[in-house]
Amino acid sequence: MTRAIIKAVLAAAFVLMGTGGWMLLSTNQSVPVTLTVSLSPATLMLADNSITGTFLSNVAVSVSGGGAFTGNVGFGAPYGNGNGDCTLTGSGSSYILALGPGGPVIYPGQGGSVSSAEGTFTFGALSYGSEYAVLLNGMDANSASDRLEVVRGVVYEFLTYNGHWYQRIPSWGWADIGTTAPLPLPSGTSTQKCTVTATQ
């Protein structure tokens, strides 16, 4: 549950004077109002071959006192969208949380980067064929490819010339994992987290 404190402007408050007149007491008092983000379900288990778009949770935003929610819903601290693990669709106070693609994809010549705990990966100059040098934090990462992507925090590259995927092993290098694209979720048991926030 994520809470955000907002301020609600009260209507002008008046007090009755002894002379029968009205005196303006305040036109801009503020009181704390609580926004509550509810997830249903709040936790769940998924198969490790679940596909992008798989339903995760219903998201509902409510305002204390029964007021209408007219603000914004998105991802925030501490987990954000979980490195692309989660996506949000919807409007008003009702949203759907779904399984995301797991992270960005970049191609040579299009700019951008992908990141992991190890650092930031980008493309450098053309190396051979259609493959471009892969850089880690601006330095040669001892590889060349024509596609980089992050799946659940792990960096992968794809080489067109042999049709193979390679997984980045931090501080070691690249491991050939064959022709099957990385699964949306890692095999075995793991925990993915994302944080949904609301502001008004």
Q: Per-residue pLDDT for 3 more than 50? A: no
H helices, E strands: number in the chain: 0, 18
Q: Which pLDDT belongs to residue 102?
A: 67
Nearest to 93 by CA among 66, 115, 119, 73: 73
pLDDT digits (tens, 9 = 90+) for 139-178: 999 999 989 988 777 899 999 889 999 999 998 999 999 9
| Opening angle at CA 28, ends 26 and 33, nearest 5 | 120
Q: How far is CA 187 from CA 41, 42, 43, 151, in A?
A: 22, 22, 18, 12
Pairwise CA distance, residues 90 & 88, whole Å: 7
| Dihedrals phi, psi of 86, to nearest 5 degrees | -125, 145
Reduced to 3 states (helix: H, G, I; strand: E, B; else coil), residue 120 is strand
Beta-carbon contacts of residue 10 (< 8 Å; ≥ 6 apart): 26, 28, 29, 30, 31
Q: How far is CA 180 from CA 106, 117, 170, in A?
A: 19, 24, 21
Mean pLDDT for the stretch of residues 10-35: 45
pLDDT digits (tens, 9 = 90+) for 48-64: 667 777 888 999 999 88
For 30, what's the count of Cα atoms within 13 Å in the CB-facing half-sphere? 7
Beta-carbon contacts of residue 147 (< 8 Å; ≥ 6 apart): 105, 106, 107, 157, 158
Mean pLDDT for the stretch of residues 63-92: 85
Do residues 187 and 180 lie in contact, with contact meaning Cβ atoms separated by under 8 Å? no
pLDDT digits (tens, 9 = 90+) for 80-112: 887 777 889 999 999 999 887 666 788 898 888
| Opening angle at CA 145, ends 137 and 87, nearest 5 | 70
Q: Per-residue pLDDT for 21 more than 60? A: no
Mean pLDDT for the stretch of residues 119-143: 92
Do residues 44 and 97 lie in contact, with contact meaning Cβ atoms separated by under 8 Å? no
Domain ranges of the chain: 105-178
Name the pTM for this structure: 0.54
Q: Which pLDDT belongs to residue 48?
A: 63
Do residues 184 and 101 lie in contact, with contact meaning Cβ atoms separated by under 8 Å? yes
